[in-house]
Structure 1
Amino acid sequence: MFKNKSYIGISFIVLIFGIYAIPKIVDRIKNDEVVKGNRLDNIDLKGSASTAKLETIGPAPKFELTNQDNIKISNQNYKGKVYVLEFFFTTCPSICPKMNLSMLEIEKTFFGNPNFGIVSITIDPAHDTPEVLKQHAKALGVKSTNWNFLTGDKSTILDLSNKGFNLYAGENAKVNGGFEHSGLFALIDKDGNIRCRKDDFGNPILYYDGLDKKGVRDIQQDIKILLDE
C-alpha cells in the first residue's frame, strides 16, 4: 500500500515537471537556444578572442641584431607582422625553461601564419653565439621560420631591455646562472606599436606573464585580435 502511494506521488511530480518544463524546452529548440544555458555561456573557451579594444602603449624600440643563422634581423623584418618579444639566455636554470614552453605553445597556435612571428633576444651574448642559438632552437623543436633568436653587443641588448622595453635584465653573480630577468612577453602589432589589454581595474597591463597559464592564454587571444585588425 505504501509503495503504491510512493509511485503515485512520483508520477504526480513527473507530470507537473512535464507540464512546466516541456513547453520551455520546445520554445528553446524553436529559437535555436538549446546550447545557450548560463553554464555554457560562462565557460572561458581557450583561444577565444576578447572583443575589448587593446591599448596602444607606444612604438616598440628599434633593434638590429644577429640571428641563429648569422643574418642581421631588425624590427623592419617584422613590419606588417604581429610578434611577441622576450629576453632570455640559453643556460638560464630558472624561469627560461618555462618561458620556452610558453613560447612553443604560442608558436604552435599560430604556426604557418606568415603575419605572425617571435623574437627571443639573449642577454648573455658572450655565450649565446649564433651557433649556440641555432642548437638551442633545434633542441626546443622550433619549426617557425619567423622565430628569430638574436644576439649582439651586450650593452646594446641590456639597454634595449631596460631602457627600451622596460623589461628588467641584468648580470648578478650571486644568482644561479649569473643573469636575472623578467618573465614577461611584449606584444607588438603590425605597425610596430606595443599593445596590451587592461587589468580588472582598467589599467594597461603593459606586458604579459610568460610564466603563467592565464598570461599565455591572454596573449594568444590578443594576438588573434591584432592579426584581424
Structure 2
Amino acid sequence: MSRKKLIPALNKPSSFWRKNSGWIVVIGFISSLWGCGNSSTDKLPILGQREAVTKVVNGKEETDSVYQSIPDFKFVSQYGDTVTARTLDNKIYVADFFFTSCPTICPKMKVQLKRVYEKFKGNPDVMLLSHTIDPAHDSVAVLKEFAQNLGVTGRQWLFVTGDRDKIYDLGQSSYMVTAQADSTAPGGVIHSGAFILVDKEKHIRGIYDGTTEAGVDKLMTDMTRLLAEYKP
C-alpha cells in the first residue's frame, strides 16, 4: 500500500508542521487559487492527475484529457448493507475519513459535516460518505449508534467500514488524503481533516479544511456551484 501523503494530517504535532512547512505553503497557494472566481457560473476545477489520450475521430487525431476518478470500492454501511461506487451514481458527494473514538479533530469534523447534512438534507443529488479508519473498533453497530447520536437518519449520509488496508489505500491513492496507522499519534491513527467534494463523474472538485467553519462554508458554496453545473 502506498504511504505517500498528498495532504498532511491536521492532527500532527507542531514538529510535523515545522518539518513540512513547504507543504503548507503549497496547499495555501492552491487553496487561494480555488478561492478565485466565486461566481456561481464558474465551473470548479477538476483536481488530481490527468492523462492525455489520443484517438482518431472522423479520420483526425484528437487528444483528450482523462481525469483521475474514484475507482470502485466495496464497504459496509451503518445499516449492514453493501456500499459501492455505484451507490453514489448520479450524486455529488462529500467524503471524509474519521474514527469514532478519535480524541482530536474528528469531533470538530462531525460538527461541521452535520452543517452540510442539514443544509442539503433531502436533496436527491447530494450524499455524504464517511469512512472509518479504525474498522477493528468501528463495527456496523458502533457506526449505527454513532450516526444516531449525531441525529442522522436515512441514507443520505452513510458511515462505512471494511478492510482497513483498502480504506487506507483509497484515501491516499484516490481521495488524496492521509489515512494510516501510527502508534505515536493520538488514538493510534493519522488522518487528514479534509472534506473531499466529488462530482457525478467521480472526479474530485475540491478539498476543504473540515475542522473549520470557514472551510466548510466554502465547501457548501462550492457544492451549490457544482449542482448548478448539472442544471439544464
**Structure 1-normalised TM-score?**
0.72
Q: How many residues align?
A: 172
| 1: CA distance, partners of 2:124 / 2:39 | 19
Q: Which has the larger radius of gyration?
A: 1
| 2: CA distance, partners of 1:59 / 1:171 | 25
Q: 1:150 to 1:49 in 2, by over 3 A?
A: farther
For the residue of structure 2 that corresponds to 1:121, the secondary structure is strand
| 2: CA distance, partners of 1:176 / 1:219 | 27
Within the alignment, does 1:87 sit opposite 2:97 as a pair?
A: yes
Q: Corresponding residue for 2:224?
A: 224
Percent sequence identity over aligned pairs: 40
Q: 1:94 to 1:49 in 2, by over 3 A?
A: farther
- C-alpha contact 2:175 2:204 (8 A) present in aligned 1: no
Q: Corresponding residue for 2:43?
A: 53
Q: Which one-letter code corresponds to 2:134 in the other structure?
A: D
Which structure is higher in helix share?
1
Computed over aligned residues only, the root mean square deviation of the Cα atoms, in angstroms, reads 1.5
Q: Corresponding residue for 1:213?
A: 213
Q: Corresponding residue for 1:194?
A: 204
1:58-99 deviations in Å (ceiling 9; x for gaps):
312322100011100011111101100001000000000000
- C-alpha contact 1:99 1:211 (8 A) present in aligned 2: yes
1:5-29 deviations in Å (ceiling 9; x for gaps):
xxxxxxxxxxxxxxxxxxxxxxxxx
Q: Which one-letter code corresponds to 1:213 in the other structure?
A: E
| 2: CA distance, partners of 1:218 / 1:50 | 12
**Structure 2-normalised TM-score?**
0.71
Within the alignment, does 1:68 sit opposite 2:58 as a pair?
A: no
In the TM superposition, residue 144 of structure 1 has moved relative to its aligned partner by: 4.4
In the TM superposition, residue 49 of structure 1 has moved relative to its aligned partner by: 6.7
